[in-house]
Structure 1
Amino acid sequence: MYTTRVSRRVRAPRRAVYRTLLDPEAVARWRVPDGMSCEVHSFDARAGGRFRVSLRYGDPAATGKSAEHTDTYSGVFTELVPDERVVEELAFETAAPALAGTMRLTTTLTETGDGSTEIAMVHEGVPDGVRPEDNETGTRMALDALARLVEEPPAAAGPTGPAAGPA
Structure 2
Amino acid sequence: MTNSSGKKRTDSASKVIKASPQTIYQAFTDPEALVSWLPPEGMKGSIDFFEPREGGAYQMSLTYVSPDRPMRGKTSEDTDVVRGTFLKLVEDKQIVQEIKFESEDPSFAGAMIMTWALETVSEGTKATIICENVPEGIRQEDHEAGLESTLENLAAFAKQDRA
**TM-score scaled to structure 1, two decimals?**
0.87
Q: Supply the RMSD in Å over aligned alpha carbons.
A: 1.6
- Which of 71, 76, 89 aligns to 2:98? It is 89
Question: Residues 48-75 of structure 1, C-alpha deviation per residue, up to 9 Å, x if partnerless?
Answer: 0001011101146431100111011102
Post-superposition offset of 1:113 = 2.8
- TM-score computed with the length of structure 2 as normaliser: 0.89
| Partner of residue 102, structure 1 | 111
For 1:33-44, list aligned pairs within 5 A. Answer: 33-44=40-51
Which amino acid in the other structure matches residue 13 of structure 2?
Answer: V
Instruction: Give the unaligned 5+ runs of structure 1.
Output: 155-167
Say how many residue pairs are matched. 153
Match of 1:148 among 156, 159, 162: 156
**% identical aligned pairs:** 35
Q: Does 1:16 align with 2:23?
A: yes
CA deviation digits over 1:13-32, x for unaligned, max 9? 11111101111101111101
Query: 2:74 maps to which residue?
Result: 65
For residue 140 of structure 2, what is the amino acid of its counterpart? P
2:11 aligned partner = 4
Shift of 1:151: 2.4
Aligned to 1:161: none
The amino acid of 1:10's aligned partner reads I
Structure 1 contact 105–124 (Cα < 8 Å) conserved? yes
Q: Which structure is larger by alpha-carbon Rg, 1 or 2?
A: 1
Superposed CA offset, 1:75-94 (max 9, x none)? 21000000000000011001
1:151 match: secondary structure: helix
Q: List alignment gaps of at least 5 residues for structure 2.
A: 1-7
AA in 1 matched with 2:82 = Y
Q: Distance in 2 between matches of 1:68 and 1:34?
A: 18
In structure 2, C-alpha distance between the alignment counterparts of 1:28 and 1:97, rounded to whole Å: 26
Alpha carbons 2:45, 2:61 under 8 Å: kept: yes
Q: 1-side partners of 2:40 and 2:89: how far apart? A: 24
2:130 matched residue in structure 1? 122
Q: Point out 4+ residue stretches in structure 1 off by more than 6 angstroms.
A: none
